[in-house]
Structure 1
């Protein structure tokens, strides 16, 4: 079953659900990355976090427009990211850069996979171009994070038997 919308490419319900869900996931990543930024010590790690948040916001803007074209409202967020503040973080409550790097790597990989899946099903040129651009940005961010993690010794060496 498809939504009918005159003069627009229509999305199937499963595509709409995928887009809607991805916006929610991205909102969660944005919120957690604000916390990671507050905890991170390494300035290069902070720069990657900021770049990742920019990519997520750009992706959400694109996904929201796609949903709007098909007459669907995007999920809202109750968090005002500009006002997100954390107090002084002390002792065991702090998240170290190694843990942030690990979680950030998983989140970037998840975003890369999600954009790849959207890229695969997109049919309009403008959408495939946007997904291609986002795909490359996530891939580059992931590569930067791997390089930084390796340089800082945050990656565990594999053991061979």
Structure 2
């Protein structure tokens, strides 16, 4: 049995699976953030939501390209990605901004951890570089959300026992 030499530019199975999984998670976050945007009242929070959506879409675009180059179809996005415009949306009371902020914080942290893990298991330096850029964007976005949450009083202080 003759083994063929691995193409340096092709991704390994674990890398392909990680990218495919990341795309699916990102699509879920995009859908969730569309919901959050519609119900958020605070203008600054809406901007952070839009920035998170943009980061996710940018990451997806690059990851979909990598999958396509390796002959793998990306998971489908199951929502209508209509334009979200701050001036047209009015907040409703179904979920409040502090709840949105808390969930958004967890989602950003999850994205940060996910790209860190993907970066750690990447064999190709170009893929590691892409993940490090995503990592930095999520870290900055998380810091912005913490600052806004602190400013608005949405962070819960530790209980004094």
TM range (shorter): 0.7 to 0.9
Aligned mates of 2:58, 2:92 — CA distance in 1: 33
Correspondence for 2:75? 75
Correspondence for 1:9? 10
Structure 1 pair 148/109, CA: closer, same or farther in 2 (3 Å)?
same
Structure 1 pair 125/152, CA: closer, same or farther in 2 (3 Å)?
same
Structure 1 pair 101/29, CA: closer, same or farther in 2 (3 Å)?
same
Aligned mates of 2:48, 2:90 — CA distance in 1: 22
Gapped regions of structure 1 (runs ≥ 5):
none
Structure 1 segments (4+ residues) deviating >3 Å: 4-7, 87-91
Deviation string, structure 1 residues 25-77 (Cα, Å, up to 9, x no partner) = 11111011011111111111011101100110111112112212221111112
Shift of 1:88: 7.8
Aligned mates of 2:58, 2:6 — CA distance in 1: 25
Instruction: Give the match's secondary structure for 1:41.
Output: coil
Aligned mates of 1:57, 1:89 — CA distance in 2: 24
Asked whether the 8 Å contact 1:8–1:69 carries over to 2, the reply is: no
Give the total of aligned pairs: 155
Asked whether the 8 Å contact 2:40–2:91 carries over to 1, the reply is: no
Correspondence for 1:65? 65
Aligned mates of 2:154, 2:90 — CA distance in 1: 24
More off after superposition, 62-71 vs 132-141: 62-71
Question: With CA pairs under 8 Å and 6+ residues apart, which has the higher RCO, 1 or 2?
Answer: 2
Aligned mates of 1:79, 1:132 — CA distance in 2: 28
Structure 1 pair 118/138, CA: closer, same or farther in 2 (3 Å)?
same
The root-mean-square deviation of aligned C-alpha atoms, in Å, is 2.4
Gapped regions of structure 2 (runs ≥ 5):
none
State the TM-score, normalized to the length of structure 2.
0.85
| Correspondence 1:5-154 to 2 at 5 A | 6=7, 8-12=9-13, 14-82=14-82, 91=93, 94-154=94-154
